[in-house]
Chains A and B, each alone.
Chain A
Amino acid sequence: MVTTSPAQIVGIVLPAYNEGKVIGQVLDELPRKLTIDGKTFEVRIIVVNDASDDSTVHEIIKRRNVTLINHILNSGAGAATRTGLHLAKDVGCNYVLTMDADGQHSASDVRKLINAIVKGNSDFIIGSRLKLQKGNMPTVKKVGNIGLGIITFVLLGVYASDTQSGLKAMNKKALNTISFHSNDYAFCSEMIWSAHKARLRIKELPIEAIYTDYSLSRGQKNITGALDIIKQLIKRRFLHLINE
């Protein structure tokens, strides 16, 4: 008797807040099925709408094969990512990729990270926008990201060239191990810290950063955003010392 093992599932988690203008195109470009080394993978796209008040939900429900979760309260990118990862775990995803919903990442980089994580040489992969010269990341953002990488190293003891990258991939082991409590953008650094503490194999892959006028107007504000992240990281470090 010939038995066929069920296709493995790759989850793609997108936290979205007021991304109505671009999220449709982002979802359209994502693969629904992948074949890697002769193995077929079912792709499960999970969008966590973080209480958007624009057309985000409308754009999502028009797309097929997309799971939509609505946050009741606007809680931040970290909280939305955590909800998406929670569902990915519940539905039994073997691999999970997180990405921004503002069109900052290319579909080819998404495939590249999925390929790399499926190959199995690492548990957690960070797509680094600073390792590739290609792309149009503004200088102020580059400097900010380098600075945040150094601050993350000083506070949390783990270094990554692009701690704030939204494009990350993880396998089941990492999905079950990584935990973070930051609700806002500090979750990116906290995820890496959690992976480091769990002694997971962390790798960085160069990816392209696509900045448009739209994506520049979204996301973190340069200086206040960076200061908020630093404040959150200090708070997290302190709470880790007294309350974990």
Chain B
Amino acid sequence: MNKYTILIVFNLPFVVFGIFSAIARYKENSLGRLSLLTRLFFWTFIGAGIIFAQQIYNFLIRNDLTNSQPLSLADVVLVTGVSFCFFLSIRLYSRLDNTERKLSDLQEKLSIMLSDDKSNE
């Protein structure tokens, strides 16, 4: 199988999953329009880079903008790892943020409840 095809096969699922999870969260109203557009732009950008990797490489070589070697299998593994890290970091960052918010919310409500309005009147 062509190395560029392998690149697409291994990486595109992350992109597709990233796009679908953003749309799903938007539909659940847990993501705003701006965040949806940012995520869609981000994943589309990565997806385009993966799908058109060969054309981009050829373009760069033709215009003497790079002198790197053509894609190797090691590169495919590396790029897959980077895509996975992107995917994971966005997911973890938003989960961490949501957890922090829930924890703050819990502390807020609990403190108010426990204070039971002890106004020293």
Q: Which residues of A contact B (CB under 8 A)?
A: 44, 48, 61, 63-73, 75, 79, 82-83, 86-87, 90-91, 181, 183, 239-244
Contact = CB atoms under 8 A, between A and B. Distances in A.
A64 B108 CA distance: 23
B39 A67 contact: no
Given A48-B111, A69-B111, 6 more contacts: A67-B117, A67-B119, A75-B107, A82-B108, A91-B117, A181-B104
A93 B119 CA distance: 15
Interface string B98-121: 101100100111111011011111
Contacts of A240: 34-35
Given A66-B119, A66-B120, A71-B107, A90 B112 contact: yes
Interface majority SS (helix, strand, loop, mixed), chain A: mixed
Interface centre among A44, A69, A87 (most CB of B within 10 A): A69
Nearest to B32: A244
Identify the interface centre among B34, B94, B108, B111: most chain A CB within 10 Å of its CB. Answer: B111
Nearest to A90: B112
Contacts of B109: 86
A241 to B, nearest CB: 5
Contact of B119 (A65, A70, A83, A86): A65
Contact of B35 (A67, A75, A241): A241
Contacts of B104: 75, 79, 82, 181, 183
B31 A71 contact: no
A68 B118 contact: yes
Given A181-B101, A244-B32, A71 B93 contact: no
- Of B109, B110, B120, most buried by chain A (CB within 10 Å of CB) is B120
Contact of A64 (B97, B101, B120): B120
Main secondary structure of the interface of B (DSSP, over half): helix
A90 to B, nearest CB: 7
A67 B34 CA distance: 39
Contacts of A68: 115, 118, 120
A243 B111 contact: no
Given A69-B112, A71-B107, A183-B104, A243 B118 contact: no
Interface in B18-76: 31-32, 34-35, 38-39
Nearest to A65: B121
B109 to A, nearest CB: 8
A44 B112 CA distance: 15
- Which of B90, B98, B104 gathers most chain A CB within 10 Å? B104
A242 B90 contact: yes
A161 B108 CA distance: 30
A73 B107 contact: yes
Return the 7 tightest CB-CB contacts between A and B, nearest first.
Answer: A243-B94, A69-B115, A67-B119, A83-B108, A241-B38, A69-B111, A244-B32
